[in-house]
Amino acid sequence: MNHAQQLQNGIAEMGLDIPAGQQAKLLEYIGLLKKWNKTYNLTALRDETKMVSHHLLDSLSLLPYLNGAATVLDVGSGGGQPGIPAAVCRPGLQITLLDANTKKTAFLQQAVIELGLDNVRVVSGRVEAVQDVQADLITSRAFSELADFVGWTAHLLKPDGRWLAMKGVYPEDEIRRLPEFAEVVQTDEIRVPQLDAERHMVVMRKKAV
């Protein structure tokens, strides 16, 4: 089965509505990732048959959680997941991709240009040092422990904003170690088609003072 068919099947299984033009752009992104990966080591995944499931469908599981937001910050964006697929499918959202690795941000900048994503800004630097972002939603995929994730980014989240942490197995111990100022709003088990692994979405917010 080719990438296009894999993507189409996965999107249908997830019940998402993604027009053909956006699907083509998602596949173009995978092409860029493959091309740049040889030199820039953007992903440890070498099996091309898994690129659609691990990079696209996994990222697209974020889409239902973006409703109602205007600004999103993707922390530790790496090769651009979940930020780039989200930006392709939600062109009305302003998305900031943040990574401390300059090789990775060079790739992200190039991908944004080649994919024509004028709703995306790329920032290179450590998250603790960034000051000029205020986001409705801050997301990360396997970036760090939850306590570090909320601790490092609390200054970048709007008062009524949400953190969306994309995790593998249910992070029970990490939730227990959350700092006092943060609380879990919901945790959802997510089924990603073609991906034989556990996935959870942990939604958090700042506690009301």
Q: Where are the domains of the chain?
A: 3-206
Round to whole Å and give the CA distance between 52 and 190: 17
CA atoms in the 13 A half-sphere facing the CB of 18: 30
Round to whole Å and give the CA distance between 171 and 203: 12
> What would be the CATH architecture of the domain defined by 3-206?
3-Layer(aba) Sandwich (3.40)
User: What percent of the chain lies above the pLDDT cut of 70?
Assistant: 99
Mean pLDDT throughout 47-71? 93
183 is in an annotated binding site: no
pLDDT of residue 45 exceeding 70: no
23 is in an annotated binding site: no
Q: What is the pLDDT of residues 64-113, one digit of tens each?
A: 999 999 999 999 999 999 999 999 999 999 999 999 999 999 999 999 99
pLDDT at residue 143, as a whole number: 83
pLDDT at residue 209, as a whole number: 75
Q: What is the pLDDT of residues 147-157, one digit of tens each?
A: 999 999 999 99
Round to whole Å and give the CA distance between 65 and 145: 20
194 is in an annotated binding site: no
Is residue 71 within 8 A of residue 93, CB to CB? The reply is: yes
128 is in an annotated binding site: yes
Is residue 76 within 8 A of residue 45, CB to CB? The reply is: no
